[in-house]
Structure 1
Amino acid sequence: MIAYLEGTILLQRKDRVIVKAGPVGYEVYVLNPASYSPGQEVQFFCYQQFREDGQTLYGFESEEQYQLFTLLITVKGLGCKSVLNALQYIDVQTMIKAIENADATTLKKLPGIGSKTAGQIILDLKGKVVFTPQKEDKKKAPQNPVWSEVVDALQSLGYKEAEINTLQIEPDVLAGAKVDELLRVCLKQLAKGKRF
């Protein structure tokens, strides 16, 4: 079981990075892979997922991110990649606050999480995620307020939560995107009735 990984970024791909640790390269799914660059030194707390069709490694810059991730994947209806995608849009403390305050509105703004899943998260995890960071992170979890603004704009245009919840935005699509640009992409996909 790989629980911790330290090395340098060898390659940065659409939804993951390759970390070179000694003579070995590890494929690691991370928050906001576009924020990493080749040669950058990294340290990840890792979650290793075992499935019949293979193994997948997920890496987090802090123990708090790792703990939150491992709790969220225990919620019915949430998988590793959907949780990783959602955590790109919210930091650890904001997520904890939303769960503890039963703030379903904040949770529903995360991609892939609708009313039912938000309610399930609160039901399953309220009271279980009150952990205090050992120290202030120098580099917090990647956030992107653009998504929240896009959701608000779509709702003001009359789109239902269920429709918005079908949108699966890839990290490379979000990276550097402005509200108007991302809104156009969402409207185009919603008009076609497709997921992206």
Structure 2
Amino acid sequence: MIAAIKGRLVGRQADSLLLDIGPLVLQVHTSATTIADLAPDADAGGGSEIRLHTYLHVREDQLALYGFGTPAELALFNVLIGVMGIGPRVAANILGATRPEPLLNAIAAEDVAFLSRLPGIGKKTAARIILDLRGKLADLGGGGGAGVAPGVAPAPIDGEVIEALQALGYTAAEAHTAVGRLPRDGAGSVEERIVAALRAMSEG
């Protein structure tokens, strides 16, 4: 598994970045959000070094590498591609069209209209997203419930969750508070707990 990749940015396309990693130049598919954050200039040929958190999509006839600027964006990507009918390209397009909090709010509110306006998503797929993900977020503590009591150390897995939240711009205090609202047994993957923590913060 390729967890992350670091290389020199040498080009930008509509939905991907080109990274020079020595003997190879890799095309890494990504979201419009990551492109805007890491390669805002159209030529994107300045040669700056960037790091992307990655997912390798394997098919019989194709290997496609997807990369994102933050662990949290990758976490949401991984959650979305777990929904039937959403492939990596559609998931990346969704992440380029909205930020995490509006997306999570729409899922929690069962807002089919909002979700069906996202690229590649119709009403049936929007309903499937809600069906598949709303309960998962609640089970992971996204809607409140028994989390970590004050003064109790977070589960070891949540160190990565806190780092991801801080990479998104939240303060250390905000990240620790959100993690404190998650189940203390460390249930779920890092990606799922990041999503649940984002949901907890969006609910205040």
Query: Is TM > 0.5 for Structure 1 vs Structure 2?
Result: yes
What is the CA distance between 1:43 and its match in structure 2? 1.2
What is the CA distance between 1:13 and its match in structure 2? 2.0
Equivalent residue, structure 2, for 1:77: 85
Equivalent residue, structure 2, for 1:46: 54
Equivalent residue, structure 1, for 2:2: 2
- 1:118-157 to structure 2, matched below 5 A, reads 118-129=126-137, 130=142, 134-135=165-166, 137-138=168-169
Local SS of the residue matching 2:103:
helix
Equivalent residue, structure 2, for 1:172: none
**Separation in 1, partners of 2:125, 2:80:** 11
Equivalent residue, structure 1, for 2:147: none
Give the letter aligned to residue 134 of structure 1: L
What is the CA distance between 1:82 and its match in structure 2? 1.3
Equivalent residue, structure 1, for 2:20: 20
The alignment's TM-score, normalised by the length of structure 2, stands at: 0.62
Give the letter aligned to residue 46 of structure 1: T
What is the CA distance between 1:71 and its match in structure 2? 0.9
User: What are the superposed Cα offsets for residues 117-163 of structure 1, whole Å, 9 maximum, x if unpaired?
Assistant: 1110000011434487521525xxxxxxxxxxxxxxxxxxxxxxxxx
Gapped regions of structure 1 (runs ≥ 5) = 139-196
Give the letter aligned to residue 41 of structure 1: E
Gapped regions of structure 2 (runs ≥ 5) = 143-160, 170-204
Distance 1:5-1:54 versus aligned 2 partners, 3 A rule: same
The alignment's TM-score, normalised by the length of structure 1, stands at: 0.64
CA RMSD between the two structures: 2.2
**Separation in 2, partners of 1:110, 1:34:** 18
Name the count of aligned residue pairs.
139
**Separation in 2, partners of 1:51, 1:86:** 21
What is the CA distance between 1:15 and its match in structure 2? 2.2
